[in-house]
Each structure stands twice: as structure tokens, then as C-alpha cells.
Chains A and B, each alone.
Chain A
């Protein structure tokens, strides 16, 4: 079994089976184009902790058939239980995983990440809750200076 070496941004080295890592289209294309197996491939955007989660996913979906070209099914909970357990993460880590999946070009993992985020959005009741959960800063429709001016004008009118 030929193996592929990867180095993360933390300078940690991983040696993985070819069949396992070839689920990501980026590395597959890189290896097949360059024909280099010994030299480690650097991944500057991916940390070791996120790569662990990605490798867990790859081990679960080792024997899957290639995905067919069909339109997107909109059921949010249409996932395997193992994937559900895998994606029980904090949002910060989940965002990193999604970004890594986007970078490594793993369509299955990206799909699952998007589905979990959508599921979390579905659980929220208000937009306040969504802001708290996903760390979105509160935006004002007008800037604070404008609001202060308006308040001054209102006070002048009201006396």
C-alpha cells in the first residue's frame, strides 16, 4: 500500500494510506499530476486538531461508492448516526472543519458540515439566538453618530 505524507500548519507529519486520502480531490489531483510520493505535502490552512476530525470522517466513509450527480435533497437530518456524533462540536471547530473540507475539496464532509450548521440555525427561535450562537456582531442600521444627532433633534423638538 502506497502512502502519502502530509504536514499541517503545526509542523506535524501524517502518513496516510492512498485510498483513504484520495477521497479529497485536491490531494488526489496533486499526487497524480506530480507523481511524488516521498516528499510531504504541506497544508498551510489546516491545523492538526482539525485534520484529526477529517481523518475520522475519512475512516468512516472509506468504502462508500462515489456520489451520484443528483439534485440536492433538502432533508436536514438526512445523515448517518456516526456523522452526527462526529459533528457534535463547538462552532469554532466546526467552522475550521468546514473550511478544511472546502480547501481539501471533500464534497461529503462539506455537505455534512453545511447540514449541521443549517440544523443548528433551524433550532434557534430568534435572530438574537442565532447571533449569540454563531458569534455574529450586532449591526446598527445607522451609525452611532447619526443616532446621537437624531436623539438631539428629538430632544430639541420635545423641549
Chain B
């Protein structure tokens, strides 16, 4: 009786190549030899490459691409993507491409500034005049200079105040008002003095409450009249600050 284990290793491996991966897992349980064979890394590599062949082909087609570090060493790329970290690298001297890279970076910054200046001047030459803007109703006052705006604002404010003062001096007193308006006091209150009215009412209520509290009868008098029993619940109602003490004693009694 020949067993499967007696076959040479290369044949066993070529058999396991045709076994699907779910059955390879059961093959690991058969014996020690098959455990080492079925968990062979090259075999599993082949399985995984077959499973995602598209990705592998894509990676293999891009294998000749140089590294990022190589590009930096050949002065094609900068060492880091963001400018702040790059300036830090320059200051600390840990820049990949050395002093040449530093000078090239500084020149590039100068060139950028020059280009921005040129663009700005071009746009300033092309910009429209104030008269054109006023004709298009984009700007209201074309004649006034922007430095006078603050003064104009203060002047308008003072003018408004003067006009209000003149109107106040002209208005009639309460007695001079016609009778219909003076007689209806409630409507007058509700309209103009409602907030003040509310405050007054609240103050009155407070005073009444305080008077009542000062004149209230003591617990001993109530006790003598047998209006209240000495029960913890009622006591807590009268004096809420006792409640935690009552709870404490209740807990003690429960424990006992």
C-alpha cells in the first residue's frame, strides 16, 4: 500500500498547485508533512497573484518607474511637498540636494514675486475709472473723496439729533391732549409702560409675601392646636432643609 506521502516532494507540490485554496486549508490538518507543504509561501504567492492578476500586471508594468528619493537626488523633485517644511529644511541644512538646491529655491521664490508684481501692474493699468463705475450705478457718490466719509457721517448724525430736539420741543403736554386719549389710562399703560408695569406688580407681590412670612405662626403654636402630626413627611414639607437628615435616619432603620 503506497501512501500519498511516499511520492517525491516536487510531485506533491505540483499536485497541490491544482488544489483550490479552501481545500489547502483542510490539507494542513492531514499530517505534518502536508502542513509544511500546504503552507508553502511560494504556493500561496501564486494563489494570490492569480486572484488579483490585474493589479499585479499593473504593478509590473510600472516597475521601471524611479523612486521619489531618486528624483530628489537628481534635482527633479523637491525634498518635501509643503513650502513651510522646505524652509525649515533649508534653515536646518537637511535639504536633500545641498546648497545648489537652496539657491535654486531662492531664485524660484524671487521669480514668483516678480511675476506677481507684473500681473498686478497689468491689472492696475486695465482697471476702470470712477466715472465709468458711477455711470453703471456701482458707486453712489463720485465727487466725494473717501477721506471725507467719516466727517459726513458725523454731520448727518448731528443733523438728525437737531431735528429730533425741535420735534420734542413742539409736542404737547398730557393735560393738553384730547380727553379720549388721557382718559384711557389702561391702554396708555399697556402700550408704552408695559415693562415698567410688570416690574411694579412683581415688587408688590414680593412685599406681600414678605409680610405674610413675618406674620406667620410658629410650629409650636400649630402643634399645640394639633393641626400637624410629628410625621417626617409633613416636617419635610414645612422645612425642606431637613430632608437629607430624614433620608439618613430612614436608611439606618432599614439596616437594622
**Partner-B contacts on A (CB < 8 A):** 72, 74, 76, 91-92, 95-96, 98-99, 102, 110-111, 114-115, 117-119, 121-122, 124, 126-127, 130-131, 134-137, 139
B30 contacts A118, C-beta separation under 8 Å: no
On whether A114 and B11 interact (CB within 8 A), knowing A127-B29, A130-B30, A131-B30, the answer reads yes
Q: How many CB-defined contacts (below 8 Å) exist between A and B?
A: 74
Q: Known: A95-B4, A95-B7, A121-B23. Contact between A136 and B15, CB under 8 A?
A: no
Inter-chain contacts of B200 with A (CB < 8 A): none
Smallest distance from the beta carbon of B222 to chain A beta carbons, Å?
76
The DSSP consensus for interface residues of chain A is helix
Neighbour of B15 across the interface among A91, A118, A124, A127, CB < 8 A: A118
Check A136–B30 contact: CB distance below 8 A: yes
Residue of A nearest to B1 (CB): A135
Pair B1/A92 contact, Cβ less than 8 Å: yes
User: Cα distance A130–B16 when bound, in Å?
Assistant: 13
> Is the pair B27, A127 in contact by a Cβ cutoff of 8 Å?
yes
Nearest CB of chain B from residue A134's CB, rounded to whole Å: 4
Task: Report the separation of the CA atoms of residues A131 and B26 in the bound assembly, to the nearest whole angstrom.
Answer: 11
Q: In the assembled complex, which residues on chain B have CB atoms less than 8 Å from the CB atom of A92?
A: 1-2
A-B contact pairs, 10 of them (CB 8 A): A74-B18, A96-B2, A110-B11, A118-B15, A119-B18, A121-B23, A126-B26, A136-B3, A136-B4, A137-B3
B interface: dominant SS: helix
Interface hits, B31-75 → A, CB 8 Å:
31-32, 34, 50
In the assembled complex, the CB of B153 is this many whole angstroms from the nearest CB of chain A, namely 85
- Chain B: how many interface residues by the 8 Å CB criterion? 25
**A25–chain B nearest beta-carbon distance, Å:** 16
Q: Do B17 and A114 touch across chains, with their CB atoms under 8 A apart?
A: yes
What's the nearest-Cβ distance from chain A to residue B3, in Å?
4
Taking the closest CB of chain B, its distance from the CB of A112, in whole angstroms, is 10
How distant is the Cα of A95 from the Cα of B98 in the complex, in angstroms? Answer: 68
Does chain A have a CB within 8 A of B5? yes
